[in-house]
Chain A
């Protein structure tokens, strides 16, 4: 409080000096600067945001109201026609289902596997730093190389997986992993989990390291064994990061295109035809840009819905 007076005195002195020098001759520019300084400072980032985010999004929505293809780049206004086609098309509903399963299965397994590995890497053992580095390997490898490796591993004729399974007598004949609807879906899920679970490991491990050791000691004294300590201390402490991870991974996996497309292209028999591949098929397979945009717009709103649920949940938690 005591410092208010000298500060105030200084301000009065400066105001006086400015008044003396500039008098009434304040220019329009400086008035503008004074009044709108905040807006002017925000403008560059706001414009970037507009050009890079809002425009493509708005253009995508705009395109979804047209029948537009390579031969007709101007397009014909069809209103909600593309959406009517979409919602009455069984392929769309099938892909929505596949996408939901794909995102659910990969995210769920990534979280379980990622958390388990993080818990292991949180223990102290010889060579822990090396193992922590190696675990990141799948995440750091370019997708295309990962897919090439897994295609070789999965290969029905000379793949290592089949070789091992046949040699050990687990199966009698090689399995065509990527050519049968059921096995194709789970094979693709497996690669999705393998490629991205290190992301969960990194975040969970970071959180594990800052859980106060005191909590575990207090629980030990209170009579909690290792399992009780995991469920009563570790898991509640991880809960917040796991929710964020689940949200981020769901958005990412729901939109993921390259893993599924490069491994199976959406087949066999549409068994792995997720929505992003359906968009690709419509936009660049049969050149129906309008329909492709319409599917993308629907995906966008589905993810908005998922996020709203998440944030509503978060707000309720904080209250």
Chain B
């Protein structure tokens, strides 16, 4: 087990077309035993960061420290890390048992100890009956477990996982996600998890690092990044369906600050208003924070239903609101028909305001 510190990590890939900045000044402290996720769209630099921690990639500048020791120049095998790959990367010509013990063998662990550890891992992950099979004779979930076993067997200080669930079907993914969480509870090793799936990051992590274009956008607990996104990108990336965004302006009126867009005028919550930002702004509101209110309610916004989708226990209504399209989440029992006119109520306490209109527009709190 170890603490991990990333100190101003920077990575450039140079090619004939010029340099690509995969990672810009990433600084991060990860506590011993913590489960953190790096999440973001493809090309956001999350995998590059993980590969630098693994030693598979050298940073252009910056340092990686384990327990305060600089390990930036060390070979992967000298870092006491283990990694689970998206493709699992099991050695195809070796049996499950040989796959598990390969790392121990290369480190000169004596045979008796190897056998003991292999047996323990087999029992823990319930893969003992598969020991004599080759990877191609295993199902996706079994391969996943062997890959986890191969990583766990060496008792690494840091456990790196690169989108380990993305090759599984939806049902198995949910199952393995729960197993991963249980596994972390059991072994309590520092785990760094890379995913593009915000739901995996939300459910598994102690902390989430949201990244975009090689830049860290926000670090926080799942609750923090969901309920207090630092900017418009984080707000839209975290949560399904995405947060509704309405572009407009902030202007003072009668001693209050108002957000207005065509057909919508909302008072800004006092905390945000105290910052005194005016001008171009974006209003964000999560689909579950919009309510259907009786027509005529003061402050209600009239709108028209475009489409309604049933998603099991809940419904998503796509609603046209003076040229904007918003999604409203309701219980499945709320049935609305296309063309129907409804009145929407926005809870001023649950509004998010961002200064500007781009994806890097910062939150006004």
Chain B hits for A218, CB < 8 A = 83, 85, 89-91, 150
A220 & B91 in contact (Cβ 8 Å cutoff): no
Partner of A221, one of B82, B87, B91, B93: B82
From known contacts A215-B89, A232-B91, infer whether A221 and B83 are also in contact, taking CB-CB under 8 Å: yes
Complex Cα distance, B104 from A224, in Å, reads 10
Count of chain A residues with Cβ under 8 Å from any Cβ of B?
Answer: 17
B38 beta carbon closer than 8 Å to chain A: no
Q: Spot the interface stretch: B73-81, B299-307, B341-349.
A: B73-81
Main secondary structure of the interface of B (DSSP, over half): loop
A236 beta carbon closer than 8 Å to chain B: yes
Interface residues of B in 68-121 (CB under 8 A from A): 75-77, 81-83, 85-87, 89-93, 102-103, 106-107
Count of chain B residues with Cβ under 8 Å from any Cβ of A?
Answer: 22
Complex Cα distance, B103 from A228, in Å, reads 12
State the total of A-B contacts with C-beta under 8 angstroms.
59
A222 & B102 in contact (Cβ 8 Å cutoff): yes
State how many angstroms separate the Cβ of A23 from the closest Cβ of chain B: 53
Partner of A214, one of B75, B81, B87: B87
B54 & A233 in contact (Cβ 8 Å cutoff): no
Partner of A215, one of B54, B91, B103: B91
State how many angstroms separate the Cβ of A215 from the closest Cβ of chain B: 5
State how many angstroms separate the Cβ of A223 from the closest Cβ of chain B: 4
Chain A hits for B82, CB < 8 A = 221
Complex Cα distance, B82 from A217, in Å, reads 11
A8 beta carbon closer than 8 Å to chain B: no
Which of B81, B87, B89 counts the most chain A CB atoms within 10 A? B89
Complex Cα distance, B150 from A41, in Å, reads 53
A212 beta carbon closer than 8 Å to chain B: yes
State how many angstroms separate the Cβ of B19 from the closest Cβ of chain A: 18
A276-304 CB contact bits vs B (8 Å, 1 = yes)?
00000000000000000000000000000
Report A's interface with B, CB cutoff 8 A.
212, 214-215, 217-224, 228, 232-233, 236-237, 239
Report B's interface with A, CB cutoff 8 A.
54-56, 75-77, 81-83, 85-87, 89-93, 102-103, 106-107, 150
* Interface pairs A-B: 10 shortest CB-CB: A214-B89, A223-B106, A222-B103, A223-B77, A218-B89, A236-B93, A221-B76, A220-B76, A214-B85, A214-B87
25 contacts between A and B (CB under 8 A): A212-B89, A214-B85, A214-B87, A214-B89, A215-B91, A217-B85, A218-B83, A218-B89, A218-B90, A220-B56, A220-B75, A220-B76, A221-B55, A221-B77, A221-B83, A221-B103, A222-B77, A222-B102, A222-B103, A223-B107, A224-B106, A232-B102, A236-B91, A236-B92, A236-B93
